[in-house]
Structure 1
Amino acid sequence: MNTPNWILQRARLTPERVAISWGEEQWTFREVAERSMDIARKMRGTGLREGDRVALLTSGGPETVFLIHGGLLAGFELVMLNIRLTEAELAYQIKDSGAEAVFTDDLLLDRAPDSTAVSRLLAGEGTDFEPAALWEEDRTLTIMYTSGTTGFPKGVRQTAGNHLSSAVASVLNMGLQEGDVWLCAMPLFHISGFSILCRSLIYGMTVRLQTKFDAEASAKEIAEGSVTTMSAVSAQLVRVLDILESQNQKASGNFRQILAGGGPVPSPYIRRAEALGIQILQTYGMTETSSQTATLAAEDALRKTGSSGKPLFFNRIRIDGAERPGDEGEILISGPHVTPGYVGRFGDRPAQEDGWLHTGDIGRVDEEGFLYVLDRRSDLIISGGENIYPAEIEQVLAGHPAIAEAGVAGVEDERWGQVPAAFIVARKDVTAEELEAYCRERLAPYKVPKYYRFVGELPRNASNKLLRRELRDKFELQE
């Protein structure tokens, strides 16, 4: 099935409705389409052709929205790069994706030395062309990288059909009202942020942009009712609640809900939010599923503490090997929102087996059909909403000449939820300070271990597999 070009179709349907609001500025859908089409012509003017893969390394804000929409109008597959990565990490993703070009914010040029500055692109000459009126369902719109358990990031393909089914399933669950405004404080290079842009075009809804999360501004907008919905992770949610409580404010009657991802929201936070007039909708999703797969309704939040809810309308979830409700096993997902596959190093690996995505997450489904995620991809560390895989950090540490073995596990942290802790078997003298400096040169800041523990050996099972849960237990005993 083909779908109308979302950008052009929305500009035709509601041209004067506000699409993007940022600070004191705003742009209608017509203005967004015009700005984006101008950028699309300039992108094509560099010699790029429809179907080319193009990477974007941008900080956010309205100019990033125009650049994204311009790339889609030009017919490119957009590789969304995380600005928090190191130069080496970015170089790997750019090469692995096969990107023909990289467009980078001027202030980020040192992170991707061979890229083209956005200012240079905008100053260039454009080439006239006719954008596609229809987008094929299986057309890849975006590629986003998510770390794999091997330590090598995987480039996940997300098609027009994936994004469309995700957006429609979300609105069937959450509803849509006239005047809805979604506060987007999530990075646009993440599926959490990008999916809000997709919903805006498909619903005809205004997006209130923040270049980066601003807790004070978010609390003010929620209290004033200038926004109706927000996406957040637990760490952001808590900061907003703290501010509202400290100022003795509540959410405006216009504000409807916060969509909370990045792990379960503790019951005390839900109670605090309810007291402030805020509904919390907890979700479970991943890059491979173009955002939400399951969502917990606000009325079930306390009754089903720790649950991620039920699958959205088009989606199915089952527990591999489960014979009865409550049995634990790997979470499998099926639906039109699931990626058709990967690119680069993992391009030959099938994303689905017999129509099911094997998530690697362990969970259970109760007798009412509510999903409980017991361990995010077994050893995944979720720190402030960012996914961190221990294997990637271990691989970096293993390259240090003083290290014989390294194991990494997530430990509890009041601010970030979890942070990585490294357990080191040293072959010669080395300090924690030296290891931190070594990691900072090779890893994004949020991946750098916050603790270093020197041990005689690492816990392993009979198959010599590292037991990271035992590392976590060991850390707690040492505290």
Structure 2
Amino acid sequence: MITATRTFGEVLAAHAAARPDAPAVTCGVDTRTWAEVDRDSNRLARMWIRLGVTPGSYVSIMLDNSPAFMTAAFAAWKLGAVPQPLSSRLTSTELHAILEVVDPAGVVGLPEGEGPDAFNRVRLPSVPESAESADPLPRRISPAWKAPASGGSTGRPKVVVAGNAALLDEVIGFADVLGIPAGGTVAVPGPLHHNAPFMFAVLAMLRGSHVVLQGRFDARTLLADIASHRVQWLYAVPTMMQRIWRLGPEVLAAHDLSSLDLVVHMAAPCPPWLKRAWIDWLGGERILEVYAGTEAQAATVITGGDWLEHPGSVGRAVVGEVTVLGPDGAALRPGEVGEVWVRRGANAPAAYAYLGGEARARAGGWESLGDLGSLDEQGYLYLTDRDTDVILVGGSNVYPAEVEAALAEHPGIGDACVIGLPHEDLGAVPHAIVQSSAELEFDSVLTFLRERLSPYKLPRSLEIVDHPLRDDAGKVRRSALRAQRLERADDAVHDQ
């Protein structure tokens, strides 16, 4: 029996004892059983001890989606350390900045060619040695069960350290809210270095569910995985949903999705037409939308059926509290648009802590993620706009300040502003407006940026202006610049 006070490592060991040969994690053709994940994480942990990993320290994990990623996370928890997921595609500049904030005891998957001297970090192995003991380790409790990284609205990275320890009873409530099955099969096609995919994969494994990953998202492959593995629960972002839907009715009908009980989507606004299409296809009871930040101060959920009665809503709070306030801090009436503020509870312990950042907070424990919206009389939340600084590219956050800082390093660019413009597939993409008197070629600017930014952060278009982008106070009005570009696009369409 798995008791609520068990550590994550103890929960894994219990599943391994109960079903040693059952699949625990699959990615493509690579499947690891519960016994293998338990054994390999014990061996990895012992190897890491000799390399300096201690209870309470951070372990940065820079692996692609794979069973090895989850094995490394459990090795960290068994040592009482905190796993800190990172993208394997970070540039050297991005990685240096994050590691300075986190100061991990070691990095799993440190890029080849970037030895310990380059980052002054310990390289931790991801493959355990068979000669290492696979016996259980002494009980250790990680003070925080995850610490995902974020670009940060200031252009500098920050890390969100969970306020919950790596104990089953501190996190299992999230699995209940999300409807993650026990002893079932869960598909998580998103990258594990993002908060939501990592969180869902972990919660599913804690519940004894087989987690099916994708090395890189592919709509057809995902449908085949759902059918062949009899997946019951799926996490997706709207970009994934749209690519699946575009396969067409014949392709969709060719795959047996009868096992699928619930599709959970979040991370970006879902276009109403797409939401209705999925509800019509699978049924409202099989669609669940979640609105929450990595900080997890609060979360709202809404089923497909409720959404049809409250179209456009992201639901009511099921974790923490949500309110909408005006510029003066006063609560707004139902239907009035203001800034969305959240909190775990008036006297609740902190849901997270920042490394390298500070919360936008006000009295009473309220914090803002920068979203605008309104509440109706029944407490359903409607978002009218996301943070004007953050560009959601296929569910991934791109912070303009970070891209602008990289552009400003270019010798031919005096100043830069980056805004998000609509994109049919990805939802939004970065558009760069630069002040320059030089003759800039877009391709040469991209070549310059590729040394500093991950591919998804790169601007998809470039606009050159000869006038200042900032006002006398040194501020750039991204929302106004974006509105102007959208108005031009509308005028161009109407003129055709």
Q: Is the partner of 1:289 in helix, strand or coil?
A: coil
Find the counterpart in structure 2 of residue 385 from structure 1.
395
Query: Separation in 2 of the partners of 1:240 and 1:107?
Result: 35
Structure 1 residue 330 and structure 2 residue 339: aligned? yes
Greater CA deviation, 372-381 or 121-130?
121-130
Structure 1 residue 172 and structure 2 residue 176: aligned? yes
Offset at residue 103 of structure 1 (A): 1.8
Which amino acid counterpart does residue 284 of structure 1 have in structure 2? Y
Find the counterpart in structure 1 of residue 197 from structure 2.
193
Structure 1 residue 257 and structure 2 residue 266: aligned? no
Q: Pick closer, same or farther for the CA change 1:353–1:377 going to 2, 3 Å.
A: farther
Structure 1 residue 212 and structure 2 residue 222: aligned? no
Q: Is the partner of 1:151 in helix, strand or coil?
A: coil
Q: Pick closer, same or farther for the CA change 1:418–1:447 going to 2, 3 Å.
A: same
Identity score, percent: 25
Q: Pick closer, same or farther for the CA change 1:34–1:468 going to 2, 3 Å.
A: same
Q: Is the 8 A contact 2:433 2:463 kept in 1?
A: yes
Query: Separation in 2 of the partners of 1:145 and 1:397?
Result: 22
Unaligned residue ranges in structure 1 (runs of 5+): none
Q: Pick closer, same or farther for the CA change 1:109–1:307 going to 2, 3 Å.
A: farther
Q: Pick closer, same or farther for the CA change 1:392–1:165 going to 2, 3 Å.
A: farther
Offset at residue 254 of structure 1 (A): 1.5
Greater CA deviation, 256-265 or 124-133?
124-133
Q: Pick closer, same or farther for the CA change 1:18–1:93 going to 2, 3 Å.
A: same
Structure 1 residue 342 and structure 2 residue 354: aligned? yes
Offset at residue 36 of structure 1 (A): 1.0
Aligned 1:348-387 pairs, distance under 5 A: 354-387=364-397
Aligned length: 472
Q: Could you tell me which of 307, 313, 322 is aligned with 1:317?
A: 322
Which amino acid counterpart does residue 84 of structure 2 have in structure 1? V
Q: TM-score, normalised by structure 1?
A: 0.88
Q: Is the partner of 1:143 in helix, strand or coil?
A: coil
Q: Pick closer, same or farther for the CA change 1:111–1:316 going to 2, 3 Å.
A: farther
Query: Separation in 1 of the partners of 2:58 and 2:150?
Result: 18
Which amino acid counterpart does residue 447 of structure 1 have in structure 2? K
Find the counterpart in structure 1 of residue 56 from structure 2.
51
Q: Could you tell me which of 311, 322, 325 is aligned with 1:305?
A: 311
Query: Separation in 1 of the partners of 2:73 and 2:145?
Result: 10
Which amino acid counterpart does residue 58 of structure 1 have in structure 2? L
Q: Is the 8 A contact 1:78 1:143 kept in 2?
A: yes
Greater CA deviation, 100-109 or 404-413?
100-109
Offset at residue 273 of structure 1 (A): 1.6
Which amino acid counterpart does residue 442 of structure 1 have in structure 2? R
Structure 1 residue 153 and structure 2 residue 157: aligned? yes
Which amino acid counterpart does residue 330 of structure 1 have in structure 2? E
What per-residue deviation string (whole Å, max 9, x for no partner) do you get for residues 262-293 of structure 1? 22211221232234325332221222128x71
Find the counterpart in structure 1 of residue 295 from structure 2.
288
Find the counterpart in structure 2 of residue 103 from structure 1.
108
Query: Separation in 1 of the partners of 2:439 and 2:132?
Result: 59
Greater CA deviation, 162-171 or 43-52?
162-171
Q: Is the 8 A contact 1:342 1:351 kept in 2?
A: no
Find the counterpart in structure 2 of residue 395 from structure 1.
405
Which amino acid counterpart does residue 325 of structure 1 have in structure 2? P
Offset at residue 47 of structure 1 (A): 3.2
Greater CA deviation, 254-263 or 200-209?
200-209
Higher relative strand content = 1
Structure 1 residue 413 and structure 2 residue 416: aligned? no
Unaligned residue ranges in structure 2 (runs of 5+): none
Greater CA deviation, 217-226 or 56-65?
217-226
Which amino acid counterpart does residue 336 of structure 2 have in structure 1? D
Query: Separation in 1 of the partners of 2:441 and 2:360?
Result: 42
Q: Is the 8 A contact 1:82 1:189 kept in 2?
A: yes
Offset at residue 119 of structure 1 (A): 5.2
Q: Pick closer, same or farther for the CA change 1:107–1:211 going to 2, 3 Å.
A: farther
Q: Is the partner of 1:149 in helix, strand or coil?
A: coil
Find the counterpart in structure 1 of residue 97 from structure 2.
92
